[in-house]
């Protein structure tokens, strides 16, 4: 069954016809030749396909394209504000050598961008303490941006596997941008 | 081994950012699937659902009737290949099934969705034969392979091990096991094949994810009876390999078969993550018995390492697990052996430091056990037994600085704060430290050729140098580090070098394996650059070009060339749950000249992370009933997440090894994983007093009841 | 994957009517489990009714201080909700212990409740599995069952429920609101899930076409402390080996009330009523915590591959209760 839809991909309106079965990842890679998001597992277990969908980081391999007509999709290729420039996260990944083979990298960077926005919006992670004692129902919840120590960055980035083992440098890169 | 004139270094030793960095952080670097090609079609493989038997019938009518299906390949009608000698590569050439998951067919369709749907519609009937996949060191049918990977002696026996063990005041006799493990590079094995041209003069182009474009060309040209110049393999960027892309595998053949059937159209095939567990190689499980004898001062008097591992019944791969033990420590009495079980299992192959990684896990844990038994500090025990020359060959070391690595690491790590086993409690955690040695041979493979050309800009003015060689960058930093070597060899600024790699259109390069890549390709580039200067001087005209390689060394090597390292780990083990955390690891390496410290540090650390992973997480669970790896995905086959990797650092002694090659480098791709698992396991013992001898060290093995 | 139709739902009633009328239809929420299953060949719906745009995405405060959580509230938004985080720390913890940031941004409350087991054999259509294909057998019983059930399993199925969120909801006495063609019904979480018995193909007591519209949480008892402890093979982004959720009310060194649920042990979140009973009135301390865990876990029937879960679950619960009770450990 085919369906026609329009996606705004990295700032550009793209119309396409997809099979209802086509995932957002395959629509990007195989129909639109936007190959920045990668296919590492195709089952939501590695994070290589991470994109920002209407501003939030998601796994494009588990999302059906047909369900997102009109959506804004941002990949690592379109993350920078200006064409030909690098986003601060991309600059930091280069400075800190936050990758080796590079295959998980666009997903890492999209994930980091989404994650920093989540943290700014006050979203907690598993390692964010509830003020006044962990696990207590009488505690007050911290508001505002969660401070991102290394533990926070690691936990929030744990959905992006890197088999080259570049995590130390990935965390350093994100730490630098997070502090800006 | 080459004794060419040393390279004068200026760029080598500095840390330029990765040249391929900008396209990788934006995701625009083309990996195998991603080259823009007109009207591609898609392959969905069919895999054997039985472990052993025969395909008796395949009914593809329903699949072929589906709109968009172009072809269904079966063992009965697939194109024939000319050489079926390698059973792994003789894809669809016979109806026999040798392991579960083996290719038994494929669907080619206009879209991936249709290919997948059609594959489900192909009805395959089998005659099922009994199978045997059960790996055990007690099997009566273990056999002695003729050699172990690549060409090491299977067994060695020096002195009188039994007598020495019997006489030793301190002995260790322990059996360790390591599980089947899978390389799992992030980029699945991918091959896009295009078969074009007339029948009598076909041209085959492959966009492949490989550690050796020329090796893929050689193998596939042979299989399909094509001259080498009719096969081009393109592979500029590779999403990790760790050995599993070191040689072509069955999917390459399947892609070419499909391309032949759909000539003129690019045929895309990427293994799924699940398929990678049966079709792209793996590290054999091992059972390793270590026997050590030492005198009262901790000097080794006997070293015995007996290994049992598996191979596939259809193709032998014999991992060299005990080989490092032969040269690691001084002892007059040394014995090693390798025995194989040939099973109805997928074909094992290279995985990062094949041999050294599992072998040094067991050997370095045994050294820790011996240190404990003798009451000698584990760092000291290793220093006491540091041999002056290679015990195996008698040759002098080209540079063995293990003890310096150990001492420097111990100092920086705070080794003197190591507690007595099981005594340091921090809340509900037990803390401890471990150490292990690392080693890896300094391989150099002859045969690479490089081409240098003076480039011209659009106006015809001289514009830097093109340096061409079919080398690979699988995250190893080749784009950058080889450019640095070329700059120094040409004596030109780094940014005047325009490296071109990953294509058989360029001169032949040996495989990125055995940590040999930069040694081998760098030597060729140095040789070509020198020849270029000899031929064209210092103001070469645009278009001036020289192509040359390195002649293979005459005579045997005079030195034993190995890298060494010391790895330290701190672990915490939860007293309630057995969960293990690794707050710190430190590696200190001696690996010759480090070409690019920025990328080298990443690679050392990456190897250590994979060793941590080997210690704590990785295990391909093989179900002998179903006959396959059941945890065949990233949710179940655990590799470290970001939360598992805390403070890990690597440093090195800065010393070129001029016996190795003109750069003085020895290779760094693999040594990081060697010893790291032992350091973690030894730290777990130090923290808890529990000695886990079967990897991985999962929480259930550390539970206090 | 077979071809299917896709239809966004315009309202809950028509969504229910559409799916009820078509045996092959399914609701599509975040898709993190369903799309995965469609790729694996476990699920083959011929129509997906997308419910993510229905107005079911609010978290509302109830008059009694409880919360009503809309079915399509994303897991990440729920975990970050200030009311949920302050009143139900166990649930925020459990949500954040599950999956990854990206998955939590897509996964919905209802979808999380309805996610299916991660049993390797269930997920591999080339192997026998009574849950996926009734009557085909259970490959896990004689195969790899490290992650499988030690409580409430049957000879037909030893799968475990994978959700963290549902374990916390179980301890929080959650009630699921379900809309069917006959109207709305309220199902306490304890009656929502079922044990495998001889019909392991059914995970829940929902009928085809019934749509979860919300989950209601009654207020926790005054003075209660609550938390969630998950034990897994790696530090993050992994399913539980075992987990425990607890709500604890103490009174001068004694337990006044405890509500406890285990995850990773059974076909459903396992409400540990025997443990709760054993704790009532007990003196706070390691001994009481361990005895309480034993009171539940003595009914366990582990296999050789997962026997470790019994002591691991006991210790995890004891650790959680210790944390909630602020009792210095005495071991």
Whether B139 maps to a domain, the answer reads no
Structural tokens at position B516: 């040999």
Number of residues written out for chain A: 180
Query: What pLDDT, on the 0 to 100 scale, is given for residue B556?
Result: 54
Range of the domain at C32: 5-50
H/E element, C16: helix C12-21
Q: Is the pLDDT of residue B338 over 80?
A: yes
Residue among B26, B33, B239 minimizing CB distance to A90: B26
> Which of A71, A123, A126 should one mutate to test binding to chain C, selecting the residue with the greatest count of C CBs within 10 A?
A126
* B120 and B206 co-located in one domain: yes
* B174 and B188 co-located in one domain: no
Distance of CA C18 to the CA centre of its chain: 27
- How many CB pairs below 8 Å do chains B and C form together? 90
Hey, where are the domains in chain A? Answer: 2-78, 88-179
B239 touches chain A (CB under 8 A): yes
Residue C65's CB is within 10 A of a number of other CB atoms, namely 13
Residue among C4, C85, C220 minimizing CB distance to A130: C85
Query: What pLDDT, on the 0 to 100 scale, is given for residue B705?
Result: 57
Tens of pLDDT, residue by residue over B122-180, are: 999 999 999 999 999 999 999 999 999 999 999 999 999 999 999 999 999 999 999 99
Query: What pLDDT, on the 0 to 100 scale, is given for residue A142?
Result: 42
- Tokens 């998001």, residue? A37
Over residues B28-32, mean pLDDT: 98
* B545 and B600 co-located in one domain: no
- Domain with residue C303: its CATH number is 3.30.390.50
Residue among B25, B111, B476 minimizing CB distance to A109: B25
Whether C291 maps to a domain, the answer reads yes
* B358 and B211 co-located in one domain: no
Whether C67 maps to a domain, the answer reads no
| β-pair type (A50-53, A56-59) | antiparallel
* B287 and B407 co-located in one domain: yes
Nearest CA in chain B to C100: B641
Question: Which of B223, B252, B279 marks a domain boundary?
Answer: B279
Q: Is the pLDDT of residue C331 over 60?
A: no
What is the rounded distance in angstroms from the CA atom of residue C60 to the CA atom of residue C304? 46
Whether B3 maps to a domain, the answer reads no
pLDDT-derived band at B550, boundaries 50, 70, 90? confident
Distance of CA B335 to the CA centre of its chain: 26
Using alpha carbons only, how large is chain A's radius of gyration in Å?
Answer: 17
The total of structural domains in chain B comes to 3
Percentage of chain B exceeding pLDDT 70: 99
B67 touches chain A (CB under 8 A): no
Range of the domain at B484: 21-28+445-552
| Range 116-175 of A in CB contact (< 8 A) with C | 118, 121-126, 128, 130, 134-141, 143, 154-161
Cα dihedral C133/C139/C141/C145 (nearest 10): -110
Beta bridge partners of C74: C108
* B262 and B363 co-located in one domain: no
A2-78 has CATH 3.10.20.30 classification: yes
C120 touches chain B (CB under 8 A): yes
- Tokens 């793209």, residue? A14
Number of residues written out for chain C: 331
Structural tokens at position B139: 């099997």
Whether C37 maps to a domain, the answer reads yes
Q: Is the pLDDT of residue B439 over 80?
A: yes
pTM of the model: 0.97
Tell me whether residues B644 and C1 touch, CB distance under 8 A.
Answer: no
**Upstream peptide bond of B696 is cis (omega within 30 degrees of 0):** yes
Tell me whether residues B700 and C312 touch, CB distance under 8 A.
Answer: yes
> Which of C102, C235, C317 should one mutate to test binding to chain A, selecting the residue with the greatest count of A CBs within 10 A?
C102
The 3-state DSSP class for residue B125 equals strand
pLDDT-derived band at A134, boundaries 50, 70, 90? very low
* B529 and B581 co-located in one domain: no
**Upstream peptide bond of B373 is cis (omega within 30 degrees of 0):** no
Over residues C240-249, mean pLDDT: 98
The total of structural domains in chain C comes to 2
Whether B664 maps to a domain, the answer reads yes
Tell me whether residues C3 and B117 touch, CB distance under 8 A.
Answer: yes
- Which chains does chain C touch, 3 or more C-beta pairs < 8 A? A, B
B142 burial via Cβ count (<10 Å: 0-12, 13-18, 19+) = middle
Tens of pLDDT, residue by residue over A90-102, are: 999 999 999 999 9
Whether C111 maps to a domain, the answer reads no
**Catalytic residue list of B:** 670
pLDDT-derived band at A147, boundaries 50, 70, 90? low
Tens of pLDDT, residue by residue over B470-499, are: 999 999 999 999 999 999 999 999 999 999
Tell me whether residues C4 and A21 touch, CB distance under 8 A.
Answer: yes
Question: Which of B279, B301, B332 marks a domain boundary?
Answer: B279
* Strands across the sheet containing B69-73: B69-73, B103-109, B41-47, B267-270, B190-196, B203-208, B231-234
- Domain with residue B467: its CATH number is 3.30.365.10
Nearest CA in chain A to B189: A40
pLDDT-derived band at C329, boundaries 50, 70, 90? very low
* B151 and B124 co-located in one domain: no
* B493 and B602 co-located in one domain: no
Q: Where are the alpha helices (DSSP H) in B38-125?
A: 61-65, 112-121
* B224 and B101 co-located in one domain: yes
B494: left (phi over 0), alpha (psi -120 to 50) or beta: alpha
A47 touches chain C (CB under 8 A): yes
Superfamily name with CATH number, domain A88-179: [2Fe-2S]-binding domain (1.10.150.120)
Query: What pLDDT, on the 0 to 100 scale, is given for residue B3?
Result: 58
What is the rounded distance in angstroms from the CA atom of residue B29 to the CA atom of residue B235? 11
Closest CA to B663 of B533, B517, B532: B517
> Which of B680, B700, B702, B704 should one mutate to test binding to chain C, selecting the residue with the greatest count of C CBs within 10 A?
B700
């Amino acid at each position: 069954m085919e369906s026609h839809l329009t996606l705004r991909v990295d700032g550009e309106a793209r119309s396409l016809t997809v099979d209802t079965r086509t995932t957002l990842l395959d629509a990007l890679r195989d129909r639109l030749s936007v190959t920045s998001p990668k296919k590492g597992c195709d089952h939501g277990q590695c994070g290589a396909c991470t994109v920002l969908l209407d501003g939030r980081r998601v796994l494009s391999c588990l999302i059906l394209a047909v369900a997102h007509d009109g959506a804004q999709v941002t990949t690592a290729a379109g993350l920078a504000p200006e064409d030909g420039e690098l986003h601060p996260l991309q600059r930091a990944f280069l400075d800190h050598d936050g990758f080796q083979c590079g295959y998980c990298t666009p997903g890492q960077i999209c994930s980091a961008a989404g994650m920093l926005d989540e943290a700014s919006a006050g979203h907690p992670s598993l390692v964010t303490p509830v003020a006044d004692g962990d696990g207590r129902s009488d505690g007050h919840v911290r508001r505002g941006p969660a401070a991102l120590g290394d533990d926070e960055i690691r936990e929030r980035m744990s959905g992006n596997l890197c088999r080259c083992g570049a995590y130390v440098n990935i965390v350093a890169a994100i730490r630098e941008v997070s502090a800006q | 081994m080459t004794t060419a004139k040393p390279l004068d270094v200026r760029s080598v030793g500095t840390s330029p950012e990765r040249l391929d960095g900008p396209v990788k952080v934006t995701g625009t670097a083309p990996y195998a699937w991603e080259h823009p090609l007109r009207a591609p079609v898609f392959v969905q493989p069919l895999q054997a659902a039985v472990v052993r038997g025969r395909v008796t019938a395949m009914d593809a009518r329903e699949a072929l009737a589906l709109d968009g299906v172009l072809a269904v390949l079966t063992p009965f009608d697939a194109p024939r290949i000319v050489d079926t000698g390698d059973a792994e590569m003789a894809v669809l050439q016979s109806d026999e099934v040798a392991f579960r998951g083996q290719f038994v067919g494929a669907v080619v369709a206009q879209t991936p969705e249709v290919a997948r749907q059609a594959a489900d519609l192909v009805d395959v009937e089998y005659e099922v034969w009994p199978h045997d996949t059960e790996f055990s060191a007690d099997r009566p049918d273990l056999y002695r392979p003729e050699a172990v990977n690549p060409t090491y002696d299977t067994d060695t026996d020096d002195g009188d091990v039994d007598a020495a063990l019997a006489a030793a005041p301190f002995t260790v006799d322990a059996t360790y096991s390591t599980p089947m493990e899978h390389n799992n590079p992030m980029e699945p094995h991918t091959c896009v094949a295009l078969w074009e041209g007339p029948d009598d003069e076909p041209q085959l182009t492959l966009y492949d994810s490989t550690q050796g474009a020329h090796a893929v060309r050689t193998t596939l040209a042979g299989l399909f009876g094509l001259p080498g110049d009719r096969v081009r393999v393109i592979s500029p960027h590779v999403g990790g390999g760790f050995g599993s892309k070191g040689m072509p595998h069955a999917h390459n053949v399947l892609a070419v078969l499909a391309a032949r059937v759909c000539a003129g159209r690019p045929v895309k095939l990427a293994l799924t993550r699940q398929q990678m567990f049966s079709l792209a190689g793996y590290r054999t499980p091992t059972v390793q018995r270590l026997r050590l004898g030492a005198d009262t001062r901790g000097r080794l008097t006997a070293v015995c390492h007996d290994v049992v591992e598996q191979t596939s019944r259809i193709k032998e791969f014999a991992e060299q697990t005990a080989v490092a033990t032969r040269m690691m420590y001084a002892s007059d009495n040394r014995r090693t052996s390798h025995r194989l079980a040939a099973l109805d299992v997928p074909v094992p192959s290279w995985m990062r430091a094949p041999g050294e990684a599992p072998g040094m896990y067991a050997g370095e844990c045994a050294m820790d056990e011996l240190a404990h038994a003798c009451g000698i500090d584990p760092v000291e025990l290793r220093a006491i037994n540091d041999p002056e020359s290679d015990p195996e060959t008698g040759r002098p070391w080209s540079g063995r600085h293990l003890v310096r690595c150990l001492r420097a690491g111990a100092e920086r790590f705070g080794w003197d704060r190591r507690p007595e086993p099981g005594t340091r409690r921090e809340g509900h955690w037990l803390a401890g430290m471990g150490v292990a040695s690392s080693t890896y041979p300094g391989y150099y493979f002859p045969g690479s050729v490089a081409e240098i050309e003076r480039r011209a800009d659009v106006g015809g003015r001289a514009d830097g140098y093109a340096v061409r060689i079919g080398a690979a960058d699988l995250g190893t930093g080749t784009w950058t580090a080889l450019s640095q070597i070329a700059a120094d060899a040409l004596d030109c600024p780094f940014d005047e070098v325009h490296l071109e790699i990953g294509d058989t259109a360029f001169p032949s390069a040996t495989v990125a394996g055995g940590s040999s890549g930069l040694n081998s390709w760098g030597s060729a580039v140095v040789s070509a650059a020198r020849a270029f200067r000899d031929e064209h001087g210092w103001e070469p005209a645009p278009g001036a070009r020289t192509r040359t390689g390195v002649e293979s060394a005459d005579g045997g090597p005079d030195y034993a060339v190995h890298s060494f390292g010391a790895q330290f780990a701190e672990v915490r083990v939860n007293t309630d749950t057995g969960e293990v955390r690794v707050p710190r690891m430190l590696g200190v390496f001696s690996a010759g000249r480090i070409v690019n410290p920025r990328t080298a540090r990443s690679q050392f650390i990456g190897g250590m992370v994979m060793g941590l992973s080997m210690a704590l997480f990785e295990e391909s669970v093989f179900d002998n009933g179903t006959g396959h790896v059941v945890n065949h995905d990233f949710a179940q086959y655990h590799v470290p997440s970001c939360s598992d990797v805390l403070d890990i650092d690597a440093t090195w002694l800065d010393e070129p090894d001029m016996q190795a090659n003109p750069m003085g480098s020895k290779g760094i791709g693999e040594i990081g994983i060697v010893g790291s698992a032992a350091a973690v396991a030894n730290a777990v013992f130090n923290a808890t007093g529990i000695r886990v001898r079967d990897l991985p060290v999962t929480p259930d093995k550390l539970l206090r009841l | 994957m077979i071809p299917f139709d896709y239809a966004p739902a315009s309202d809950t009633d028509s969504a229910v009517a559409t799916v009820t009328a078509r045996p092959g239809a399914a609701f599509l929420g975040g898709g993190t489990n369903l799309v995965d299953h469609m790729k694996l060949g476990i699920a083959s719906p011929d129509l997906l009714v997308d419910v993510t745009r229905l107005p079911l995405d609010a978290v509302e405060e109830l008059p009694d201080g409880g919360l009503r959580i809309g079915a399509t509230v994303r897991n990440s938004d729920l975990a970050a909700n200030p009311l949920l985080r302050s009143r139900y720390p166990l649930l925020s913890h459990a949500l954040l212990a599950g999956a990854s940031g990206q998955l939590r941004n897509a996964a919905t409350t209802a979808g999380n409740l309805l996610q299916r087991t991660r049993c390797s054999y269930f997920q591999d259509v080339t192997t026998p599995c009574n849950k996926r294909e009734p009557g085909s057998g259970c490959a896990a019983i004689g195969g790899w069952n490290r992650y499988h059930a030690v409580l409430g399993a049957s000879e037909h199925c030893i799968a475990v429920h994978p959700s963290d969120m549902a374990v916390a909801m179980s301890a929080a006495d959650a009630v699921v609101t379900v809309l069917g063609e006959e109207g709305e019904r309220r199902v306490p979480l304890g009656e929502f899930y079922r044990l495998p018995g001889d019909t392991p193909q059914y995970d829940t007591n929902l009928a085809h076409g019934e749509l979860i519209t919300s989950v209601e949480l009654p207020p926790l008892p005054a003075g209660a402390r609550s938390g969630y402890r998950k034990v897994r093979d790696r530090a993050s982004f992994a399913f539980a080996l075992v987990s425990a959720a607890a709500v604890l009310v103490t009174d001068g060194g004694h337990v006044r009330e405890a509500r406890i649920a285990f995850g990773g042990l059974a076909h459903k979140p396992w409400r540990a009523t025997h443990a709760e009973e054993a704790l009532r009135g007990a003196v706070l301390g390691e001994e009481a915590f361990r005895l309480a865990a034993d009171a539940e876990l003595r009914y366990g029937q582990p296999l050789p591959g997962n026997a470790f879960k019994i002591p691991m679950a006991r210790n995890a619960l004891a650790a959680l209760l210790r944390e909630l009770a602020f009792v210095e450990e005495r071991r």
